[in-house]
């Protein structure tokens, strides 16, 4: 009987973890962004004034981690691929 309870407990834990990953996330998108200037991948300075009136996505990643960075980078790659498929300008 103890093995059965143990297995059911493990199954419940795994199910909870799996279902938690399926939760819906809705980000706040009406934040005011302070003025900034950064250098992009083309070595050009880009600031908030360059982006006003456009839809833009900022992705901040750590380049030396092996936990959340690979999936975040993959998701951004998929986003970019889907964005281009829709004919949107990047």
Q: What is the pLDDT of residue 43?
A: 93
Per-residue pLDDT at 58: 76
Per-residue pLDDT tens digits of the chain, which is 90 residues long: 577 777 777 777 777 676 666 666 676 777 788 898 989 889 999 999 998 888 787 777 677 788 888 888 888 888 888 888 887 766
Per-residue confidence (pLDDT) for residue 68, from 0 to 100: 81
Give residue 21's pLDDT. Answer: 61
For tokens 């279902």, the residue is 19
Tokens coding 12: 């419940």
SS3 24: coil
Q: Is the pTM of this model over 0.85?
A: no
């Amino acid at each position: 009987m103890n093995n059965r309870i143990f297995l059911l407990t493990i199954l419940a834990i795994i199910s909870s973890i799996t279902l938690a990953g399926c939760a819906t996330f809705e980000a706040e998108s009406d934040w005011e962004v302070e003025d900034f200037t950064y250098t992009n991948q083309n070595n050009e300075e880009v600031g908030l004034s360059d982006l006003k009136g456009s839809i833009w996505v900022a992705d901040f990643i750590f380049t030396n981690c092996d936990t959340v960075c690979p999936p975040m980078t993959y998701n951004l790659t998929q986003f970019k691929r889907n964005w281009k498929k829709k004919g949107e300008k990047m």
